[in-house]
Structure 1
Amino acid sequence: MRIWKRMLFIILVVVAATAGYYGYSFYQFAQDIQEPNVITPPPLDGGAATKAAEIPQWDGNDRVNILLMGVDRRGMKNNGLPRSDSMMLVSIDPVTKRYDLFSILRDTYVDIPGNGSSRINAAIVEGGPQLAMKTVSQFTGLPVDRYVITDFEGFKALIDAVGGVELDVEKNMYYHDPTDKGVYDINLKKGLQHLDGNKALQYVRFRHDATSDYTRTERQRKLLAAVADQMKKGTTLLQLPMILKEVTPYVQTNISALDMLKLSALGLNLDTQNPGEYQLPPMGMFRESRQAGSVLVPDVEEVQTFIRQKLQPAVADTNASVTDEGTKSSTPQ
């Protein structure tokens, strides 16, 4: 009996120590990636960024919208802000355990509050993450006050930290990048394969298709869904402290530690097999214009209606099915 008591005591100590280690790792990560940092340094004019403490605490029940931005920091000097290479809005419904991904084409020509009209990826250059969120919110009609930013190196670090991802590369992809002495060249072969961070970055950056950015954003959503699925695996969760340490230098956010904890718990229950995946603006809801340099001018009202329809449950269809069933059952046989 004494031996069993000792064993139980040892187990409890190990569990407590492990929980403390994981908790400390998560807390430290949440503190280290708060804005501003190396991704987007403090503004030269001394303006204050929106801190996590200033954002209303998420109650864990309402839909939350988070702007994900991948930036290209190559060639950045001093306090220069990086270009937004990709923009994706993830909308999470805690009730249905569903998330929807909206890829925003970077050539979308919209109103940038206080800065006139321009490509949507110029918002972060003009006013940092805060202006980017405000611009996306105005464009989509959704409240957006949380964001996450990473750069090329951060993306690679994340994929490597989770052990890579299994992905079916739909075709051969090759592109020689004249910058950085070929460091960011793309050379992928068609077929199901295990992609490390470098190969995964090549996959999401390739845009030399007939439909250019349209197809590229599809690949970005496909890879992000694969990463979300990978993160739910037991072995990946055990490696969480190491993963957080690896990506810390390359991530910036304004999401508070408490909200991160809630989102992490929710993430374990999200349906990662069937996320909603959409392009903004959708085909047929924009016109191309060369007056401002080959941009896409969206019909904002149509786009916002499209988003609302995708996020709202098909109540009408459900009621119609019930009515149909009721009609059938009452029909004499």
Structure 2
Amino acid sequence: MMLININPAQKSVGVLSLPRDLWVEIPDFGGSRINQANFIGDGNAYPGGGGPALAMETVAANFGVRVDKYLLVNFDVFTTIVDTLAPNGVPVTVSEWIDDPDYPDDRYGTIHVKFEPGEQRMNAETLLQYARTRATDGGDFDRARRQQQALDAVRAEVLSAGGMINFLSQAFTLWDALQGNYRTNLELNDIVALGDLMGEIKREDIHYRVIDNLYAFPGLSPQGEQVLYPDFAGIRDLILDTFYAQAQLSQAEMKARADEENPLVYVFNGTQVVGLAGDTRDWLLAKGVRVDEIGNDVTNARALTEIREYGRYHETAKYLAALMGLPEDRILRSGDGLIAEGVLVALGRDAVEIIGG
């Protein structure tokens, strides 16, 4: 499930992914996984729109976010839209090796899918596989980030030269052709208007976040099922940061906020480039950033540099990302155990260019 907040006045967008196993209170029905709200609403003919209506009320009741519109789609909608709007595929940068021998196919069996680190152009079916697989250490949390990455890749392709004209010309045909594969209270004119608006929103004003293992904790439901219990206070702060992001701060303001957090800072080399961690430490020191420890992590050869939070040090992570010219979707909340607490700069192959540029 993704919550999307669009602010036409500020021309900004916030996208927040909620894990399917999040244990919440479903109005009139008690505690359950959040992904059950739609099923329960449909099964009980919930007033005002069945499953989607109950899902929207569930979000509002638990997180204080009023949801006005909904769009529920199946995989056919995704692949058809991508094939139509991006017939040559979309470029996606894979950050780590993915090897999934048990990816579910459309015949209730499994197939073996693999993705190598680096940029590649994916057609609709490959992009769907990339967005659906859970075969990484972060499981569902990583999958949510890849889904956001896939959404952003399609957005960029649609907004490329000629892409928006193609979208507007195909919107009416797709709307009719895909009937029965989606449910929504949006009108076609709403979707066309949103497409126009997206052309006016800069990438840096789109904020992607995931409710991950810093905001939800594993446990057992009263029925003994494995679920995730939300940290409601932390999620409220995350919602504010995602949907109501403040104006761009200066680097001096960002540094001041990072200094208040004052976490330990680590730099680990995830490449085969000898000495890259030390060189990056020296580069950061020259910019006034204390580095407490350097090391190596070559278990997965990485294509992209990431900033990983271990604990709540988001201001420090944002400052380091800004110094290194990284987009905010390279900031990850991590629980992989590489460090106990602090902020880790996980170097990928692009780090050579970052510190040498």
Q: Same fold (TM over 0.5)?
A: yes
Post-superposition offset of 1:265: 2.2
Structure 1 segments unaligned to the other structure (5+ residues): 1-86, 325-333
1:182-204 alpha-carbon deviations (Å, 9 max, x no partner): 67635133132111111011001
Identify, as 1 or 2, the structure richer in helix.
1
Percent of aligned positions that are identical: 27
- CA distance in 1 between counterparts of 2:209 and 2:191 reads 25
Match of 1:154 in 2: 77
The equivalent position to 1:251 in structure 2, one of 171, 182, 186, is 182
Q: SS of 1:146's equivalent?
A: coil
Pairwise CA distance, 1:180: 4.1
Q: Distance in 2 between matches of 1:315 and 1:268?
A: 20
Structure ranking higher on relative contact order (CA contacts 8 Å, 6+ apart): 1
Residue deviations 1:294-322 (CA, integer Å, cap 9, x gap): 1111122331133124433447967x95x
1:199-250 deviation per Cα after TM superposition (whole angstroms, max 9, x unaligned): 0110011002222101110101111111111111232223233355246333
Q: Distance in 2 between matches of 1:176 and 1:275?
A: 33
With over 3 angstroms needed to count, the CA separation of the structure-2 counterparts of 1:158 and 1:273, relative to structure 1, is: farther
Structure number with greater Rg is 1
Q: Secondary structure at the residue paired with 2:162?
A: helix
What is the aligned partner in structure 2 of residue 329 from structure 1? none
Do 2:103 and 2:113's aligned partners in 1 also have CA atoms closer than 8 Å? Answer: no
Shift of 1:258: 4.2
Amino acid corresponding to residue 228 of structure 2 in structure 1: L
Q: Give the alignment's TM-score, normalised by structure 1.
A: 0.63
Say yes or no: does 1:168 pair with 2:100. no
- Paired amino acid for 1:235: G
Letter aligned with residue 176 of structure 1: D
Query: 1:187 is paired with a residue of what secondary structure?
Result: strand
CA–CA separation in structure 2 for the residues paired with 1:206 and 1:313: 30
Cα offsets for 1:95-145 (capped at 9, x unmatched): 221111101000100011111110000001011111111112223311102
Q: How many residues align?
A: 234
- Mapping of 1:237-276 within 5 angstroms? 237-240=164-167, 241-242=169-170, 244-246=172-174, 248-249=178-179, 250-273=181-204, 275-276=206-207
- When the two chains are superposed, the root-mean-square deviation of aligned CA atoms in Å is 2.6
Assess if the C-alpha contact under 8 Å between 1:105 and 1:214 holds in 2. yes
* Structure 1 position 260, deviation (Å): 3.1
Q: Is the 8 A contact 1:186 1:206 kept in 2?
A: no
State whether structure 2 residue 192 is matched by structure 1 residue 278. no
Distance in 1, Cα, partners of 2:197 & 2:137: 38
Residue 281 of structure 2 is matched in structure 1 by none
Residue 57 of structure 2 aligns to which amino acid in structure 1? K
Code of the aligned partner of 1:256? E
Alignment deviations for residues 148-195 of structure 1 (CA, whole Å, 9 cap, x no partner): 111011111111111221112232332334664467635133132111
CA 1:273–1:184: 2 relative to 1, 3 Å: farther
One-letter amino acid of the counterpart of residue 206, structure 2: P
Task: In structure 2, give the amino acid aligned to 1:262.
Answer: A
Q: Is the 8 A contact 2:15 2:243 kept in 1?
A: no
Please, what TM-score do these two structures have when normalized by structure 2? 0.59
For residues 155-234 of structure 1, the aligned pairs below 5 Å read 155-163=78-86, 164-170=89-95, 171-177=97-103, 180-181=106-107, 185-190=111-116, 191-234=118-161
Gaps of 5+ in 2: 42-50, 257-357
> Which one of 220, 223, 227 corresponds to residue 295 of structure 1?
227
Aligned partner of 1:252: which letter? R
CA distance in 1, matches of 2:249, 2:106: 53
CA offsets, 1:27-79, max 9 Å, x none?
A: xxxxxxxxxxxxxxxxxxxxxxxxxxxxxxxxxxxxxxxxxxxxxxxxxxxxx
Q: Which residue of 1 aligns with 2:279?
A: none
Q: Distance in 2 between matches of 1:123 and 1:166?
A: 34
Change (3 A) 1:304 1:255: same
Opposite residue 286 of structure 1, the aligned amino acid is: A
